[in-house]
Structures are given as structure tokens and as C-alpha cells.
Amino acid sequence: MAEKRPLQGADSIIRDIKERRFSPIYILMGDESYYIDKISDVLSDTVLQPEERDFNQTILFGADTTAVQIADLCKAYPMMAEHRLVIIKEAQTIRSFEPIEKYLEKPVSSTILVLCYKNGTIDKRKKIIAKAEAVGVVFESKKKRDYELPIFIKGYLQLQSTTIDDKSANMIAEHIGSDLNRLTSELDKVLLSLSDKDRRITPEIVECQIGVSKDFNGFELRNAVINKDIYKVNQIIQYFDKNPKAGSIFAFLPLLFMYFQNLMVAYYAPNKTNEGEIAKFLDLKSVWGVKDYINGMKNFSGVKTMHIINKIREIDAKSKGLDNPNTPVGDLMKELIFFILH
């Protein structure tokens, strides 16, 4: 039996495809459709030449076919081409993968099967996962966490020979959120506005092109809280009091909760001063942002952090009307910030 292959990230899979190192099967699954579509599109663009696609490329939706038909398509040989490409979109609608499991016991080397399984994952205990891992690629596309978005933005723009400062990346991340399809669409819009001579994205450009205020944002509030910069925290709170459309408690609470939840975990890291070790322990993709947790451990004790997490939960419930008949959300935010800083 073939050995289970090591898990690959999206960039590694795409690099292999572009270098024409193909696998007999790709199971692309998960809650984030961006990478599923991207890998599928790269395969569609790379495997076959345009003139080869009419006879050798088949794209079907799971609801319109069966596993038996898919297995039969995969057994066919290419016509005047090196490969045959079979892409199944919305594969989560396929009732049974058993015929495909049987096919994977002896897949046709010239066929590349791509199963795009969105809005969830196949149970990893299923036979199809084990069989696919033995001969091909199984990739889970997970939703980006809030703190990972600025890193994603910087990486995406770097591929377009464009730079962005931390504040601008945070502004975009907070305003757009974790929908990567929408996020990249907005970034593409900003890229079109740049000149060839100056490929830098500034807060002013973000404000102009995306419509988010450059004055203050949730990430700046979070950073001021982390550093216990009481003056700046008060500045930001007053700004949002006067400009309620610029931000709300419903946008800030998830940022603060995610940070302090990770900070609580960071206290259990074997080495609390090594950025690389902390990043690995927190399952961060890079050391970008690790300093926030090192500063947090200096400014907040483990017990205080635990109390802050409980307070955030309490304020979240009150903001939704639980045990809170009439306290304005602005006052709830002030209550939370005062509790965190004192």
C-alpha cells in the first residue's frame, strides 16, 4: 500500500501544478471556497492546452452526476493529449464515493480527478480520504482567522509587486472581513488605482478606494489595549462615540476575544520569549504579530487574562440584550475597556 503523503498548503500545491507535477486526484474541501476555486482554476489553466480541452476536459456538478459515472470518466484515456482532466464542482452533493474509492485502488495515470467539496469536509475516517491521501492530494481550505488577514493581504499584494503598511492592511482586514473572495476583489480594485511607478498602498488610498476611515479602527484599539496605552484608548473610544458609523462593539468584541483567548494559550508555551516557538505553539502562520502576545504577557497576568475573557463574554451577552434592558452599547464598550485596563 502506498504511503500517506505529507499535507500540503495551497501555495505548495499550486507550485507543483505550475511545474506540472500532477497527482491522480485532488480532494479540495473546506469552508473557505477561495482556495478550492483557485487550485481548481490553476489545474484547469495548466493541465491541458486550449486546443486539447474539447476532448479531454470534463467539468460537472455533483448534483448532475453519480460516482459511477465519475469513475467511468476517469477510466477513459486522453485523445491526442498527455492528460485527461475531470473536475467535479459541488462534490458535497454526491451521495456515495464508493465507486471512486474502488477506482483509486488503481487510478489511470493519465487522468487527473478534482473533487471540489465546499461548505464542509469529508469525514477523515472515510475510505476515500485514506485512498486519496495514498496516491494524491487532500487539501482542507480553512477560514482565515481575523489576525491572519493582514498577513494574507500583504502576501497577496507582494505577488503583485505591491507593498502595504501595517495600518492599511489592518484597515482593510477589519472593514472587509474574512471572506477571501470579497477581500481579493477589493484588493484588485485598489491595485487598478495604482500607478506603475508607485506600487504602495497607504491609509489614504484605502480610505479613497474602499471607503473605510483612516482615522481609527478596531485593530488600533486592540493594539492600544495590548500596550495599555490609556491615552490612545480613550482617544479611539471618544472618536467612535462621535462617529458610530466608523465602528461598533460588534466589530471590536471578536478582535479582543480572539486576542485574549490566544494570550491565555500563550501562557502555556514552553518558551515564552522565543517568537518562533510561540508562533508554533499558537499555530500562527508566521511570527508576524507574536510581539503582541509577548507584550500581552508582560501587561496582563494569566488570572487577569482569564477574567478579561469572561468579561468579554458578559459584555457580548449584554450587547445582545441579555440581562441588559437599556445600557447603550457605547457605555458597554467603555465598561469593558475600563475593566481590561484597570
CA 250 vs CA 113, 182, 213, 319, 333: distances in Å? 43, 20, 17, 8, 10
Closest CA to 226 of 277, 282, 266: 266
Decide: 171 and 206 in contact? Cβ < 8 Å: yes
User: Could you list the pLDDT tens digit for every one of the 342 residues in the chain?
Assistant: 445 555 678 999 999 999 999 999 999 999 999 999 999 999 999 999 999 999 999 999 999 999 999 999 999 999 999 999 999 999 999 989 999 999 999 999 999 999 999 999 999 999 999 999 999 999 999 998 888 899 999 999 999 999 999 889 988 888 888 889 989 988 998 898 888 889 999 988 988 888 766 667 777 888 889 999 888 888 888 877 777 666 666 778 888 998 999 999 999 988 888 888 888 888 876 677 788 899 999 999 999 999 999 999 998 888 887 876 677 877 888 899 999 998
Same domain, 122 and 14: yes
135 and 226 inside one domain: no
**What per-residue confidence (pLDDT) applies to 1?**
41
Q: 201 and 226 share a domain?
A: no
Mean pLDDT of the chain: 88
pLDDT at 252: 82
- State the CATH number of the domain containing residue 266: 1.20.272.10
Within a domain: residue 94? yes
Nearest to residue 25, comparing CAs of 37, 13, 33?
13
Question: Which of 84, 107, 140 is at the close of a domain?
Answer: 140
So what's the pLDDT on residue 6? 53
Decide if 55 is inside a domain.
yes
Q: Which of 140, 155, 183 is the last residue of a domain?
A: 140
pLDDT at residue 246 in the model: 64
Confirm if 65 and 87 have CB atoms less than 8 A apart.
no
d(CA 181, CA 184): 5
pLDDT at residue number 271: 85
Within 8 A by CB and 6+ apart from 307, the residues are 339
- 199 lies in some domain: yes
CATH of the domain at 45: 3.40.50.300
Tally of structural domains, the chain: 3
3-class secondary structure, 59: strand
Pair 98, 127 in one domain: yes
Q: What pLDDT does residue 2 have? A: 46
Instruction: Tell the residue number behind the cell numbers 450587547, with chain if given.
Output: 319
Residue 205, C-alpha cell as written in the block: 488610498
| Cβ neighbours for 220, distance < 8 A, ≥ 6 positions apart | 167, 170, 232, 236
pLDDT in tens, 149-190: 999 999 999 999 999 998 899 888 888 888 899 899 889 988
What contacts 24+ positions apart, CB below 8 Å, involve 144-150?
Answer: 144/32, 144/178, 144/180, 145/178, 145/258, 146/173, 146/178, 146/254, 146/255, 146/258, 147/258, 147/259, 147/262, 147/284, 147/289, 148/284, 148/285, 149/173, 149/177, 149/178, 149/183, 150/219, 150/288, 150/289
- Cell numbers at 307, concatenated: 477574567
pLDDT at 223: 86
- Beta-sheet strands, E only, within the chain: 25-30, 57-61, 84-89, 111-118, 137-141, 163-164, 200-201
Q: What is the pLDDT of residues 48-105, one digit of tens each?
A: 999 999 999 999 999 999 999 999 999 999 999 999 999 999 999 998 999 999 999 9
For the chain, what percentages of helix, strand and coil (3-state, to nearest 5) are there? 60, 10, 30
Q: What length does the chain have?
A: 342
